[in-house]
Structure 1
Amino acid sequence: MPVLVNSHPSPPLHIDMTPPKPIIAVVTGTGAQGRAVSRAFHDTGKWHVRVLTRNPAGKVAQAFQKEGMEIVKANFEDKASLVKAFEGAYAVYSNTVPPWHQSYTNKLGEYEQGVLQADAAKQCNVQLILFGTLPYVGPEFMGLGGVELYDAKARTNDYITSLGLPAVYISMPAFIDNVHSWPLVKAIDGGAKLEFVGYVVKPDKPMVFLWVERDLGPSVLAIAESFRTFGRPLAEHPLNHNVLPVGSWRGTWGQVSDEIEKQTGIPTIHNVLPSVDQRWHRELTKVFHYQNTHGLFPTDNFPTKVFSSLGVQYGTVEEFVRTKIAPMFRKS
């Protein structure tokens, strides 16, 4: 009997040997911090970005999904929701939100949120937590009884460390983005002048500023890559359990308003209001009192040596005003 030969052999089976990309889960991934972190990791092409959001149908979430990011509906006040979202993640960008924040409806305090995220990460065998934190103030400072916005985050650092999870605590200063997003500057007198509104902090008080949109993502990414490529147990990494201040530059709010006047050509009046209670919350006013007295990371140079050694390039006040503020007001 003749042997039948298949004249159309099947193509050889292709096995994709490319290793899977490490997953970073970004809590509040469509918020200001989350957008910056998600964007930086996604743009490398080396990471799978899992964006946690309350509203997957939102504009930012939909745009990220079209770019190839994974969008996951998650509630940072619910551990089961977090466990589901963290499953298989190599790293988590952990972020907590004050319960009085006008853009959220959460009930839990920031420490309780941080504990839930840490416990979920532990349960899911997450390798690295990157926690957005703030300096510890304590109850004795200026008789304020503590600054919960700062102290709750700082206490969360200690809780994460107690779990033995490799982690880095990324401590942040004033967000220069607020000049644009709140906003803090507006046209007055029919556009003949600009008014720059500050809260509590004197115009000449030295501060540290972070351009979140531009500089936070690359900073977090640089840390994550340092751990991912470490080659030894992450607990042995020299940055493990360190608090790392991150800032784009040191300056004053007065310099910001002066730069706006310089680049727009419009006289700019700098007014300082005694509180932000009416607009936001008294806890935020306490933050500004702390900043006006303490100045934030007074012994550090910015950018810091850690981030400079990791190759992060930071923006400047001139660049921020040129790209984000001046186009809103510049005379034609």
Structure 2
Amino acid sequence: MSGGIGVIEILNLLGTLEDEGADSSRKRFIENYISKMDSIDNIVTDVSKVIKAHQNANNRSLYSRAYGDLVNRLAELSGMKVDYIKYSNRDKISGIWHAGENFELKVAAIIPTDHEEAKWISRSALLILPETIDLGRPFVTIEKLSEFFKLVSHINLPISTLAQVLRVDDNYDLRLIPVMELIVLAFKKQLKSNAGAISMSIEWNESEIEQLLKKLKPPTLHFIRILLTGEKTAYEIYEELNRILENSAYERVKSPMAVGAIMGALSKHYQGLKEPLVERKGKYYIIKEKYKDMITTVISGIQS
């Protein structure tokens, strides 16, 4: 980087980018060059150089791989945790980006040479392209992505919230969250009378948990009470729930399979907007640990 040595010179010295072995050329490229870059503008400049070199190169894979690694570094500078995926992976992706506990995005940063190239890339991956090319897939250009990340660096919102706009799936609940938060920021004076009631954090506070629990039917409340004593299998929940419901106006649960339906009914109250209060790990149902005390406090004051 210093003394006139830039990305193209580094790549020419390496000759190839491979990721096999403890001291691979990719490892050296990332550790000795990419990881030292601390500016989005510098990344964008290098990306432009790599794209230009790719056009007339005999060894195009050298530059396309460098492009993918530079784009991964761009995400790191935005605040994301990045897994640099092996070049020869089955999904043909270049990285997996993480933000917070619940956001994960597969990306395929490619310099396409024909319209068939995207066919082999995982459908769950977001394409990151040098320019607008219709490959029949969701994509973002490197120019617009870098502008987005630069904007994020100037806004007091977590990257885990704003990153939702990059999702490839059709969960528009999650895509709307950053838009709503930006509206609140931009028009906070106009919204000040109601802003206190607007909460788009994926984490729960005690008031929100209380509002949720008061909406639930007794069987679902009992489901939560049972889990407050510890992790349970569907069969254990089924047996305990039926003992509780035996002398109530509600029908008994017909089978352990119905426990999944109860959890589904619970998650419908917040799916896409809040993180789960109850999780399933293997055969066990578990209340998320950080909410246990809060739920215990709130539920003790609710009759069912």
**Band of TM-score, shorter chain:** under 0.3
TM-score (norm 1): 0.25
Instruction: Please state which structure has a larger fraction of its residues in helix.
Output: 2
Which has more radius of gyration?
2
Instruction: Please state which structure has a larger fraction of its residues in strand.
Output: 1
Bigger RCO of structures 1 and 2 (CA < 8 A, at least 6 apart): 1
TM-score (norm 2): 0.26
